[in-house]
Structure 1
Amino acid sequence: MVHRLEPLVVRHTRRIPRPCGPAGDGAVAARQFDAALLSVGFKLSAELLERLSALSEGTVVDTAVRTLGTVREMVGDHVRHNVYFVDFPANVPDTYDFWMRCVAEALADDGARASVLEQLSDGVVDLLTLPSYGRYQHSYTEMLGHHEELIAAAGDRMTVLHLGGDADDEVTALYLALAGSGTPLGEDALRDLEALAGKCVDGPQPEEIPVRESRAVINRARLRAGSPPLLDTVTDVLRLACALSDGDVTLVTATRFRGLSRPVRRALLAGLDSVVAAAPAKLADVHPYREDFKRLGERLHPHEYPQWPHAADVFAVARGEKEARSFDSRVEELLGMHDVTGAARLLKSAPGKLFRSLDRLLRMALDQDERTAVAAAAEEVVAEVSGRVLLSVREHLANRARETGEPRVFVNRLGRAWVTEDERPPVLPPERERLVAVLDAELRRRLPAPDHLLIDPDVLDVALPLSGRAAPAGLGVLPRGSVSAVEGELLRFFVYWKQAAHRTDYDLSALMLDPGYATVCWLAYTNLADLEGEHSGDITEAPDGASEFIDLRLGAVRGAFVVPQVNIFAGEGFEEVEESFFGFMLRDAGQRGRPFEPRTVRMKSGLRGPGRVALPLAFLRGLDGRWRAKWLHLYLKGTPSANRVEANQVSVATLLRGIVEREQLTVRYLTGLMDASTTTLWDGRTVPEGPVTYIGLERPEGLHPESRIVVPGNLRDLIPA
């Protein structure tokens, strides 16, 4: 059971649980394991190599097999990446010449000639009807024969795997970290928590499970293990019912409830009854999910259980047969009467709601007395608001200093993005500055004061992960809004997808924009080669998996922005295919190698979003001429089919402008509030002898064992409670 969960520990922590087995001379096998890891951009720490070398060869081999499979999947090397043009990036033809060649080959094909001649007579040829278009014309092995071996370079990625503790302890620690997270987990992390809960539900538990979605998957494990679920709101019960039906515990999309066994129905109804009996006002929480509760009632049959009358009240409210006035309706009534002071006074009993309503209250205030009352109410209850809400409001207020009419970007919890002009009246400087000072002071009070704070400068511009959904799972992935350096002469994007049931065509494209966000050019299947680089060729179906690449010479890029995107031309969406992911590699000009070289991969992330156009990140050229990545993790709605870079360039440019010009709260901001005795910017070489609080992109070797380590995988730990 523990071995099955080891890959989760490796992915989340970059630690291999302490290998156990008979002692022996495993040094040769350990060095071979390390060499195999090097080929995919990983290596063993000195401590882990020493531990493996003291074990039997069989133990080392077993550990290597499990770990290599995990890290190869992390970097995207678990599949074969072929290309349409066998010599890519060399010998990529002109687009028009290539299309004419495909037509000529079709005319020479007895089976296709008649159809092509008919199309030519009409003046339009469908590329998908040409036998040689969109399908690999050579095997993966034949493609490898056209490429020289990759030359190692100092800039190649190298991710160190460290020695962990006992397997059970590592699994439990990971469970506690995910279950106790104060920020919502992403889809993959939530699925990992579900797997961990099945083993850990009877063991140590976090003091608090603050995120309701996390509580739902843990409650399912508790119910299956015979333990009572943790319920304190009616929506906790609804989320648990969704989890039991393998539905959406975030309640964003409707769940089709399954038939539930009688013991489960009794547990859910008893839970509802106890929640409402303890706090009848919680019946008001039914209103936002009335339809969901109605459908759940059809499965639970509350009329069969008269011993739980308060549970029956929940469904009576959902059907409109019983009144339960909500807190929000009382607030709206006061605001409808323009009683801003009264609304602020009422909202003090729900501090989180007050802070999320500050902008609206200040805009509605008619005079200085009302604005002062709102600010004073916030000051009185700031200590009762969660750190995540405080940081969100702090970031919001920083961006309210911008002029009216600037682009306003909306991103929902699924990553769907849209833009509109910001026509809101401003939040006046006195109140905005007063509230910013209050927020900074409260956050400073809650943050730890480490004796020695050691910071990797590369992490300072990483955005704070106020939601785990702001970044998908993967390797080298940073939260939305983060900025990271890009070092290398050649930048190569890649996308891989494998269709589940229907022909599916994903198109990788790259849009180049000037400093004013106007289009300079693009690379796509409609423009295979330009001054900036080359496209690997269009693949139009993926029953066995397919890949597309774009190679860019950064020194030749015209303009200031490069925006890679994945367009769904036809077939299954990002959440419907069997697998899909995007990433990028960095190389020196003389490295050569295959189109996909795992140790040059700097980022690989899953594509799992609701739109038909994916925008994983953008690349920005600074005034110093250096390139940086800006992490987006966004999806545009697009059209049902035939999405192309040419058609969405304006919307992409507008969205990019809104994201680039928005101020993000970063690690730099939060570490600036920490009252550390000593703060050191790490030089990448010298490691202090004593314990430190280290914050960086990768954990260095040699840190004192009592050090606190914060890297992207647990960056959420920086968010104060």
Structure 2
Amino acid sequence: MVHALERLVVRHTRRLPLPAATAGNGRAPGNGAARRLDAALMSVGFKLSAGLFDELSRLPEETVLAVAARTLDSVRETVGDHVRHNVYFIDFPANVPDTTDFWTRCVAEALDDDTARPGLLRRLRAGVLDLLALPSYGSYRHTYEEMLAAHDALIAAAGDRLTVLHPGGSLDDEVTALYLSLAGSTTPLGDDHLRDLALLAAHRADGPQPETIPVREHRAVVNRARLDAGAGLLLDTVTDVLRLACALSDGDVALREPTRFRALSRPVRRALLGGLDAVVAAAPAKLADVAAHREAWKRLGERLHPHEYPRWPHAAEVFSVARGETKAPSLDSRVEELLGRNDVVGAATLLRSAPGRLLRALDRLLRAADGPEEVDAVLSACESAVPRVSGRVVLSLREHVQNRTGTAGDRRVFVNRLGAAWVTPDTRPPLPPEVRERLCAVLDAETRRRLPAPGHLLVDPAVLDVALPLSGRATAAGLGVLPRGSVSPVEGELLRFFTYWKQTARTTDYDLSALVLDEDLGTVAWLSYTALTAVEGRHSGDITDAPDGASEFIDLRLGAVRGRYVVPQVNLYRGEGFEEVEESFFGFMLRESEQRGRPFEPRTVRMKSELRGPGRVALPLVFERVEDGAWRARWLHLYLRGNPSENRVEENRVTVAVLLRGLLSRTPLTVRHLTGLLASEATATTWWDGVTLPEGPVTYIGLERPEGLPPGSRVLTPENLRDLIPA
């Protein structure tokens, strides 16, 4: 368990918890062990900061060696180096054959195989060639060690990634700080981070707590841990109780998917019903929230047996409302009734009591408003509500408003919390420019009011185009991963992306592919198992079964790409989905042409993200050539539904182009927006040049934490960028 907690701290903070020094054992300090650890870390693209090296050097050697073993395991898994990445073509990217020549060779080898020949001849007579039936197709033809021997060592280059690890406090202090950060986050965590919060909460539920837990899903996870620990529950709405019940059944605490409630023990039933009774007794109007999840409440009632506990009559009212025996009109139904009578002003006035819902319904109210007076009334209601909603809602509305220009041909892109995406034409009339300007001014003023005074603001310009993490579900766990909509530069001659998967029980075939599109999003070319070579690059070969894990690679020479966009994708051809396999991830590397090296070199990995989504076609990001010929990555984190099986890049290229067109037309709210607001309140603003550090504490915002920041500095990097979102 200690190792698991330490790994969480390293992954989330890039800080290494330090054990207490052990004095008086007569052993030499760990200077030599620290040097060996530093060298081992550099082989996978990590490094000890000067401060961390100094701290480790003071510890006994055996302590440093134990820390080194755990740390290397953690960072190798982070970068994807914890598994063996083999390739079908042993010399990849050299000597990859033409696709037709390769298939012909596989057929010839099958004809020479006495066992395979009869079945192949029957298929050929029927006019069908099944590649998967060819004995030499789809399986590694050499060992991992033989593949390594076929490649020269990687030549170090200045552009190789180097992620610095910094000294932390004790494990107990670091775990507590991480728990407080995740539990108190103002934005919803992604599923991976939510699981991490559950692990941390199990160890910290009865310890220090954040001042508030504003996100309800986080509160459900914490409440489950508090219930197990015998601590008091944090409940202020009836829905908090429903979310907790879902957490206890390992269901969806976001309440978007039905939960199959488990049988609950009597102590748990008493805790839930007692909490529910107290909430309703304090505020009977909260019964109106029951209707939104009526069916879930009815199913939960079958597990809680509220009729057995007459001392909690208010809890019984909840289930009476769910069954329709007691009337408790919801706010939404009353709003719909007013809008049905075209009473827009009345609806806006009613929604003042629920400011979050008012802001989420604002666009609809403005479109329904009849004339300047009603528009002004709606905007006035919005302005009065803005100070009472969360910072995330303020910024989400700001992003929405700036994209409501109503350009002809616009498309609406919908992305659910799991990353599933779909596109529809945008038939809404645009918001008038004066309305958008008024709203933006109000929202920016409110955001500026909430932001803490930054003092001396130090900003790495490379972070400015990172999208604000308004939801942790807009990204994926991994290394170097940025929120959906972010843009980051891509520097290097060779771009190599990769996927790895390991099946759980069934034969599973994932196909790594790359779609090359022109500036109008028309197809130029693709690389996949059906097109192993192209002007742009090479495919490493198709692996069709992964009981021990399998990898596929695509190598691109960016200077040779004929189009403007390169869209890597992972297609499920057959077998287990991304949420069923034991493990699956995607990433990309950048190299210079003279570096050579193995197909997978951890030092050159710029990004590695988990593939855990509902669809059968994964679209992690798109590479885009900009005006000066440079390349940049635009982060997608999307999944297409695809076909039940046999998904191929050729068949989904139109869908990908339509989706990409919709995404490219949107402008996300980025760090640039918030740094502009922060700068107006800063005592000074400095652009980080990678060398010079100001004197005294700073608020640093960048992609990586620099060494040598003055004590007392506040550091915001992609790992904790959510802390930039005001409460």
| TM-score tier after normalising by the smaller chain length | over 0.9
Alignment partner of 2:461 out of 457, 464, 478? 457
1:490-519 deviations in whole A, cap 9, x for unaligned? 000100011111111111000000011111
2:720 — aligned with what?
A: 714
Q: 1:76 aligns with which of 80, 95, 112?
A: 80
Secondary structure of residue in 2 paired with 1:581: strand
* TM-score scaled by length of structure 2: 0.98
State the partner residue of 2:156: 152
Question: In the TM superposition, what are the counterparts of 1:237-248 in structure 2 within 5 Å?
Answer: 237-248=241-252
Cα deviations by residue, 1:284-313 (Å, 9 ceiling, x for unpaired): 222222221111111111111111122122
Partner of 1:447: 451
* Superposed counterparts of 1:10-159, under 5 Å: 10-23=10-23, 24-159=28-163
1:367 to 371, 374, 378: 371
- Residue in structure 2 matched with residue 696 of structure 1 by the alignment: 702
Structure 1 unaligned spans of 5+: none
| Cα distance in structure 2, aligned partners of 1:183 and 1:583 | 26
TM-superposed CA distance for 1:478, in Å, is 0.3
Amino acid in the other structure paired with 2:714:
R
Q: Per the alignment, do residues 202 and 2 of structure 1 end up closer, same or farther by CA in structure 2, a change over 3 Å counting?
A: farther
Moved more, 238-247 or 158-167: 238-247
- Out of 216, 221, 231, the position equivalent to 2:220 is 216
Judge conservation of contact 1:404–1:426 (CA < 8 Å) in 2: no
Name which of 261, 264, 271 aligns with 2:275.
Answer: 271
> Is the 1:404–1:424 Cα contact (8 Å) retained in structure 2?
no
5+ residue gaps in structure 2? none
1:684 to 684, 690, 693: 690
SS of equivalent to 1:500: coil
Given that 1:444 and 1:673 are in contact with CA atoms closer than 8 Å, whether structure 2 keeps it comes out as yes
Q: Contact (CA 8 Å) 1:515, 1:560: kept in 2 or not? A: yes
Question: In the alignment, does 2:503 pair up with 1:523?
Answer: no
Q: How does 1:172-183 map to 2 (within 5 A)?
A: 172-183=176-187
Q: Which moved more, 1:373-382 or 1:548-557?
A: 373-382
Indicate if the aligned counterparts of 1:567 and 1:613 stay in contact, CA closer than 8 A: yes
Q: Is the 8 A contact 2:410 2:665 kept in 1?
A: no
The amino acid of 1:408's aligned partner reads: R
Equivalent residue runs for 1:166-565 within 5 Å: 166-565=170-569
Q: What secondary structure, in the 3-state scheme, does the structure 1 residue paired with 2:700 have?
A: strand
SS across alignment from 1:210: coil
Rounded to whole Å, the distance in 1 between the matches of 2:671 and 2:708 is 23
How far off its partner does 1:91 sit? 0.5
> In structure 1, what is the equivalent of residue 579 of structure 2?
575
Q: Report runs of 4+ in structure 1 exceeding 6 Å deviation.
A: none
> 1:502 and 1:281 mapped to 2: Cα distance?
51
Shift of 1:659: 1.1
| Paired residue type of 2:592 | D
Q: Over residues 511-531 of structure 1, what are the superposed CA-to-partner deviations in whole Å (9 max), with x where a residue is unaligned?
A: 000011111000000000000
Q: Secondary structure at the match of 1:293?
A: helix
Local SS of the residue matching 2:719:
helix
1:450 and 1:266 map into 2 onto residues whose CA distance is: 47
- Tell me the CA shift for residue 405 of structure 1: 2.9
Aligned residues: percent identity? 73
Aligned partner of 1:201: which letter? A
Q: What secondary structure does 1:591 align onto?
A: coil
Over residues 675-718 of structure 1, what are the superposed CA-to-partner deviations in whole Å (9 max), with x where a residue is unaligned? 21211111111122211100000000000011010000110111
Q: Compute the RMSD of aligned alpha carbons.
A: 1.0
Paired residues in the alignment total 721
Deviation at 1:385, TM superposition (A): 1.6
Give me the whole-angstrom Cα distance separating, in 1, the residues matched to 2:192 and 2:384.
39
Deviates more, 1:317-326 or 1:9-18: 317-326
Hey, what's the Cα distance between the residues in 2 that align with 1:181 and 1:615? 27
Q: Is the Cα contact below 8 Å between 1:404 and 1:423 reproduced in 2?
A: no
SS of the residue 1:712 aligns to? coil
Structure 1 range deviating more: 425-434 or 688-697: 425-434
8 A Cα contact 2:406 2:431, kept in partner:
no
Question: How big is the shift at 1:402?
Answer: 3.6
Deviations 1:19-77 (A, max 9, x none): 32325421111100000000000000011111111111100000001100000000000
**What is the SS of the residue equivalent to 2:573?**
strand
Q: CA deviation at 1:661?
A: 2.0
Query: C-alpha displacement at 1:2, in angstroms?
Result: 4.1
Write the letter of the residue equivalent to 1:363.
R
> Partners of 2:107 and 2:284 in 1: how far apart?
73
| Deviation (angstroms), 1:404 | 4.0
Counterpart-to-counterpart distance in 2, 1:79 and 1:640: 28
Q: Is the 8 A contact 1:372 1:431 kept in 2?
A: no
Aligned to 1:162: 166
1:587 aligns with: 591
Counterpart-to-counterpart distance in 2, 1:124 and 1:381: 66
Distance 2:105 2:407 in 1: 53
Distance, in Å, in 1 between the alignment partners of 2:252 and 2:425 is 32
Which segment is superposed worse, 383-392 or 692-701?
383-392
The alpha-carbon deviation at position 3 of structure 1 amounts to 4.2
Asked whether the 8 Å contact 1:404–1:425 carries over to 2, the reply is no
Compute the displacement of 1:255 (Å): 1.6
Whether the 8 Å contact between 1:462 and 1:478 is mirrored in structure 2 is yes
For residue 647 of structure 1, the aligned residue among 625, 646, 651 is: 651
Change (3 A) 1:113 1:655: same
Amino acid paired to 1:131: P
Output the CA distance in 2 between the equivalents of 1:212 and 1:413: 15
CA contact 1:286–1:314 (8 Å) conserved in 2 = yes
Give the partner amino acid of 1:389.
Answer: V
TM-score (ref. length: structure 1): 0.99
After superposition, the C-alpha distances for 1:579-636 in whole angstroms (9 at most, x for unaligned) are 0000000000010011100010000010011111110000011011100000000011
1: distance between equivalents of 2:322 and 2:119? 60
**How far did 1:4 drift?**
3.5
Question: What is the alpha-carbon distance in structure 2 between the residues aligned to residue 487 and residue 45 of structure 1?
Answer: 25
8 Å Cα contact 2:86-2:550 kept in structure 1 = yes
Q: Is the 8 A contact 1:20 1:59 kept in 2?
A: no
Structural mapping, 1:665-680, within 5 Å: 665-674=669-678, 675-680=681-686
Name the CA distance, whole Å, in 2 between partners of 1:287 and 1:535.
53
> Structure 2: which amino acid aligns with 1:20?
A
